[in-house]
Amino acid sequence: MTPAEEWSRRLDRSLIELGVEPAEARRLTEDSHEEARGAGADPSELYGPAAAYAVRLAQAVRTPQPRLSTMPAGEVVLRLSGVSKRYGRHTVFDNVSLTLRAGEVAAVVGANGCGKSTLLKICCGTTAPSGGVVERTARIGYAPQQGGVSGFLTPAEHFRLFGAVHGMGRRKAVSTGNQLCRRLGWRPRSGLSAARLSGGTQQKLNVVLSELNSPDLILLDEPYQGFDQDSYLDFWDQVLKWRDAGAGVLVVTHLLQDLERVDHLVELHRSEDQ
């Protein structure tokens, strides 16, 4: 038995001793083993002693929703007041207002080209508005429509990179990232670069990166393009969990059935000069 196998055997046994169901213990053990392989490290290097890691994992399993926003319920996480955007003489949208509070979900809808992605970029601060005022909380997560992941990095490398930006340790970033992936029904395979993932799976990685730091405000630009039906349901389940955990969620969507689940609707209209 290799040291890594011995560590996994100890982890599995410790989890069961701590009251975790044997099937769940096996799944957690396999996931940890895979994560360590993906990181090219011995599991004891990555997670420390198996018995101590089992205590942390067992606690995480018993906590149904580990992510809890730091915002008091009802606190404003995003306020748009009369926001407009122009490119040259072309007005994309005008006078958009929204108050989004912790524990609420808002949808942005509208035809192609009416400015949904532009509005999200304004909300996260990468594009400046032409007019109006944007107020937002400090801790935000953003899943852009395109370009959210790097094709040459593996999921674990993404977690380490994004985690470092948020001041997370390598181990914590990778184990949190993998845990969030599982909630979307995906178990990343070690060593596989993002370019080799399907389009829908790349989108799952994009969504997971947006929530890695437990943000108070999550901005998602059509995040489920390419998701199959089960992944789509997992995604909405996750949106509702974020909301219940106290985050504010702003999501661009084209799907009418999503609108039943939201607290606010921002409807953008194609401007006449298009």
- Site of interaction with ligand ATP (CB under 6 A): 87, 92, 110, 112-118
**CB contact burial 36-62 (16+ within 10 A = b; e otherwise):** bbbbebebbebbeebeebbeebbeebe
Residues in CB range of 245: below 8 A, 6 or more apart: 65, 67, 68, 69
Residue 11 or 149: the one with the smaller Cβ distance to ligand ATP is 149
Q: Strand runs (DSSP E) across the chain, as ranges?
A: 76-87, 90-101, 105-109, 131-136, 140-143, 217-221, 248-252, 264-267
| Amino acid occupying residue 140 | I
Minimum distance of ligand ATP from residue 252's CB (angstroms): 7
Residue with Cβ nearer ligand ATP (70 or 118): 118
CA–CA dist 3, 5 (Å, integer): 5
Rg (CA), the chain: 20
Q: CB–CB of 115/80 below 8 Å? A: no
Other Cβ atoms closer than 10 A to 176: 21
As measured in angstroms, the least distance from the Cβ of 108 to ligand ATP is 8
Measured from the CB atom, is 112 or 229 closer to ligand ATP?
112
Which of 65/146 has CB closer to ligand ATP? 146
Cβ 85 to ligand ATP, closest distance in Å? 7
Residue 110 CB, shortest distance to ligand ATP, in Å, is 6
Q: Which two tokens mark 8?
A: 């996994």
Q: Between 50 and 80, whose beta carbon lies closer to ligand ATP? A: 80
The CB-of-239 to ligand ATP minimum distance in angstroms stands at 19
Alpha carbon distance 153, 122 (integer Å): 27
DSSP type of residue 247: -
Which residue, 1 or 128, has its beta carbon nearer to ligand ATP? Answer: 128
CB of 92 to ligand ATP, least distance (A): 4
Q: How far is the CB of 271 from ligand ATP (least distance, A)?
A: 8
Query: 97 near 81, Cβ under 8 Å?
Result: yes
Of residues 34 and 221, the one with the C-beta less far from ligand ATP: 221
Closest CA to 67 of 189, 201, 240: 240
- What's the CA gap between 269 and 38, in Å, rounded? 46
